[in-house]
Amino acid sequence: MEQKHQANISYAAWSPVGHQIAYVMDNDLYITDLRSHRRITFDGSETVFNGIPDWVYEEEVLNQNFALWWSPDATHLAYLRLDETKVPELHLPIYSVDNDSYPDEKSIRYPKAGAPNPLVSLFVYALDQQTTMMVTSNATMKGTVATEKDHREFDVDDRIITDVHWATDTHTHLLFKQTNRIQDKQLTNLLRISPGNEADKVAKGDAVVSTVHDYMPTDGGWVDPGKSMLFWGWNDGDQSLDYIELVDDANGYAHLVHFLSTERSPLERHLYTISLSGLHEGDDPSTTKKCLTCPGDIDTHAFYRVSFSPLAGYYVLYYDGPEIPTTVMKSVDDPSFELSLQKNDHLRQLLSKYELPGRRMLKIKSGSNEMNVAEILPPNFDANEKYPVLFQVYGGPNSQLVTYEFQLDWHTFLASKLQYIVVTVDGRGTGFRGRGYRMGVRGRLGELETIDQTNAARHWASLSYVDSARISIWGWSYGGFLAAKCLEANSGVFSAGLAVAPVTNWRFYDSIYTERYMFTPQLNPQGYVTSAVNNMTGFASSKFLLVHGTADDNGIMGFPIVKKIDTHLLLLLLIHSAFPKYGDLGRKADKSEYPFI
């Protein structure tokens, strides 16, 4: 295919059957069978994306670099169109390692809290008919898909499309989910396409979209993108769904549901299965539940991940801790089948030569709330000695640090070599403890988290084996924000703090992440003021190190805090000349920064 300029192909995907490739070039979508090329869209530009996400959708919504989905029979292609024309630009200086006198500049469309978001629309292209169906409305285009009377959607400037899934093994049903801008309402929509659909039949209702579920949390919380249930629809007049009739098919599927659960402990993950075969109306499926990885001893802990084959006959089981990780392949039908893929014998032999720190899991109280805590102790720990303590924090909404996963990292080094005690606390706002534990932080990020970390630090300061004058705190990204908030609180318990790439004012962070937890600045002005790191008097009694990459396109440079802190209290490390691409999108500096820290 002749091109007048150097082609910029940003993504390509094989069709699930046949020999076709869908690819995005210069932000337009194409399909090729390797003999000919068909152009699907014609409006791609620097601000209009077809089939790939813009910056904020890749970072905060889809968590992937594509926004197109082949139907299982490869006759249709669903894709998103994102228009970020109205999104303000952000300019970042890029410092090179050579002797250039001036830095380069990188410009991205970055929607900060309250600023215009990219406008998103969903389309489906039918390959046989060479027609494009517009599934969601658009302010500048006319929709081509009929809607049923129960159909609902959000306005284009109040819409975030979070998931797109083909729901059958052909192309007849497409499920997609959308939320409003502040992400406290969710719609699950269903597009039905009749087999052999033709463009002139669309208006007659052969391709219709309806709303099969309308969800709004009753606890004032948010909807997590990509982590909500795909809901079944109900029949006309039936507002509940208690029973699904399953029919055997020629493929002989066993109707097993596999899932990972924290049932034994929030710190563990185990693989469970439920059989739906042979159930009748009124039967309780949970009576068939089995745990496939749970040890017989309640005091033996484990953390697993799993990946199933396309037809779910086999799965790869990853044991992630607390002992040295291993990987095996197992069969669904034959429990005795097990193929070892990774034993990590070399790592086991290597670590046997070293004295490693111990780690224990604890529970402590912050007010009436019980928190999970991990404490790393130096080798040959002596309770009669006094040890410095470092709090490692993250604390972002629905996150989790305290688990039984194997750990061998910088904190292991600090405990082994420098005789530090390292403490990690999952306070309120973190995940896997139920909605009530995590939803209280909405609209006031940094408030409850600071209280919980400070209470935990006071607890450790009271212990006989802790040097209470040497308790410090550090975190990265949200953890950097929380570390700064803890110093701002001026509790007197932290003698030093380190914040790497922190958010210091949520008005300057990206809209989709921020508004999910803080609403917009227009709806929650006082919340934004309170959550920012504003009160500098708390830093007077602590040493503070702020580390930030000048090319970080996620955690925007925290200069608001730099301007406020008295310069003799702050040691500022800007990572640029040595690490020109030090940022949050997989371009972090290497281990060379740790000796400085």
Q: Could you report the per-residue pLDDT of 225-280, keeping only the tens digit for each?
A: 665 554 444 444 443 434 444 555 555 566 788 899 999 999 999 999 998 877 77
Q: What is the CA radius of gyration of the chain?
A: 27
Sign of CA dihedral 507, 510, 511, 512: negative
Q: State residue 386 phi and psi, 5-degree precision.
A: -115, 125
Q: State residue 199 phi and psi, 5-degree precision.
A: -60, -40
Output DSSP code: residue 409.
S
Go through the chain and tell me how many residues it has: 597
Please write the tens of the pLDDT for every residue from 189-219.
Answer: 999 987 654 444 444 447 888 887 888 877 7
Higher-confidence position of 360 and 243: 360
pLDDT of residue 597: 63
Distance (Å) of CA 519 to CA 26, 220, 222, 225, 558: 34, 11, 10, 15, 21
pLDDT of residue 365: 97
Q: Which ranges constitute the DSSP H helices of 352-390?
A: none
Asked if pLDDT for residue 567 goes beyond 70, the answer is: no
Please tell me whether residue 60 adopts helix, strand or coil conformation: helix
Phi-psi map region of 20: left, alpha, beta (phi>0 left; psi -120 to 50 alpha)? beta
Distance separating alpha carbons of residues 524 and 505, to the nearest angstrom:
14
As a whole number, mean pLDDT of residues 345-350 equals 96
Distance (Å) of CA 177 to CA 163, 174, 191: 5, 10, 11
Distance separating alpha carbons of residues 559 and 88, to the nearest angstrom:
19
- Which tokens sit at 544? 């503070």
219-254: buried (b, 16+ CB within 10 Å) or exposed (e) per residue? eebbbbbeebeebeeeeeeeeeeeeeeeeeeeeeee
The rounded percent of the chain whose pLDDT value lies above 90 is 64
Give the count of beta carbons closer than 10 Å to the beta carbon of residue 400. Answer: 17
Look at 74-83, 181-190, 479-488, 559-568 and tell me which has the smallest mean pLDDT.
Answer: 559-568
Give the count of beta carbons closer than 10 Å to the beta carbon of residue 157. Answer: 13
pLDDT of residue 141: 63
Distance separating alpha carbons of residues 160 and 180, to the nearest angstrom:
6
- Which tokens sit at 214? 């309308």
pLDDT of residue 277: 77
Three-state SS annotation for 522-569: CCCHHHHHHHCCCCHHHHHHCEEEEEEECCCCCCCCCHHHHHHCCHHH
Distance separating alpha carbons of residues 152 and 154, to the nearest angstrom:
7
pLDDT of residue 201: 46
Sheet with 387-393, side-by-side order of all strands = 358-366, 369-377, 421-426, 387-393, 466-476, 496-500, 543-549, 570-575
Q: What's 354-502+535-596's CATH class?
A: alpha beta
pLDDT of residue 276: 80
* Superfamily name with CATH number, domain 9-215: Dipeptidylpeptidase IV, N-terminal domain (2.140.10.30)
Cα angle for residues 528, 533, 536 (degrees, 5° grid): 140
Distance separating alpha carbons of residues 309 and 284, to the nearest angstrom:
28
Distance separating alpha carbons of residues 49 and 62, to the nearest angstrom:
14
Output DSSP code: residue 149.
T
As a whole number, mean pLDDT of residues 82-89 equals 97
Output DSSP code: residue 138.
B
Q: State residue 477 phi and psi, 5-degree precision.
A: 65, -120
Distance separating alpha carbons of residues 503 and 558, to the nearest angstrom:
6
Three-state SS annotation for 240-307: CCCCCCCCCCCCCCCCEEEEEECCCCCCCEEEEEEECCCCCCCCCHHHHCEECCCCCCCCCCCEEEEE
Tracing tokens 């993250």 back to the chain, one arrives at 394
Distance separating alpha carbons of residues 555 and 59, to the nearest angstrom:
12
pLDDT of residue 451: 98
Q: In whole numbers, what is the pLDDT of the chain averaged over residues?
A: 86
Please tell me whether residue 467 adopts helix, strand or coil conformation: strand
β-bridge pairing 104-109 and 89-94:
antiparallel
Tracing tokens 């830093």 back to the chain, one arrives at 539
pLDDT of residue 541: 85
With 0-12 / 13-18 / 19 or more C-beta atoms within 10 angstroms meaning exposed / middle / buried, residue 546 is buried
Asked if pLDDT for residue 297 goes beyond 50, the answer is: yes
Which amino acid would we find at residue 87? Answer: V
Asked if pLDDT for residue 507 goes beyond 60, the answer is: yes
Distance separating alpha carbons of residues 503 and 498, to the nearest angstrom:
13
Asked if pLDDT for residue 52 goes beyond 80, the answer is: yes
With 0-12 / 13-18 / 19 or more C-beta atoms within 10 angstroms meaning exposed / middle / buried, residue 352 is exposed
**For the chain, where do the domains classified as CATH 2.140.10.30 start and end?**
9-215
**Do the Cβ atoms of 301 and 268 come closer than 8 Å?**
yes
**For the chain, where do the domains classified as CATH 3.40.50.1820 start and end?**
354-502+535-596
**Do the Cβ atoms of 127 and 136 come closer than 8 Å?**
no
Please write the tens of the pLDDT for every residue from 302-345.
Answer: 999 999 998 889 999 999 999 999 999 999 999 999 999 999 99
Distance separating alpha carbons of residues 448 and 441, to the nearest angstrom:
6
Asked if pLDDT for residue 142 goes beyond 70, the answer is: no
Please write the tens of the pLDDT for every residue from 57-71.
Answer: 999 999 999 999 999
pLDDT of residue 237: 41
Higher-confidence position of 112 and 150: 112
Q: Which ranges constitute the DSSP H helices of 37-101?
A: 55-60
β-bridge pairing 496-500 and 146-147:
unpaired
As a whole number, mean pLDDT of residues 349-358 equals 95
As a whole number, mean pLDDT of residues 355-366 equals 97
As a whole number, mean pLDDT of residues 16-30 equals 96
